[in-house]
Amino acid sequence: MNKRDLLKEPFWRLSLRFGIIFIIVVAIIQIIWEFFETGNLTAISESFENGKWVVYAISKIVLGLVYGVTMAYFTKRNAKKK
């Protein structure tokens, strides 16, 4: 993607793209980490019991939004400078 495309891209769409990719990468890293730590993936299913999944999902969404907005801001700022 060249700088003209980045300047034309809406801020919210760029933020959403960065945020979704961040959430997916973090989830994959957590799954891999859990597998190497325990040798199985049962801890992931246990963590979703009794409403714990709500806190997990909200925390990932908030982190993804913050990361997405931050990266979109810096990406657009750098594209304008060039």
Residue type, 36: F
Give the pLDDT confidence score for residue 49 in this predicted structure: 74
Residue ranges making up the domain that contains 54: 3-81
For 4-32, how does the pLDDT look when each residue is reduced to its tens digit (9 = 90+)?
A: 677 888 999 999 999 999 999 998 998 88
pLDDT value at position 4? 64
The structural domain count of the chain equals: 1
CA distances from 1 to 5, 25, 79 (A): 6, 21, 11
Q: What is the pTM of this model?
A: 0.79
Query: 55 versus 68: which is more confidently predicted?
Result: 68
SS (H, E, C) 17-72: HHHHHHHHHHHHHHHHHHHHHHCCCHHHHHHCHHHHHHHHHHHHHHHHHHHHHHHH
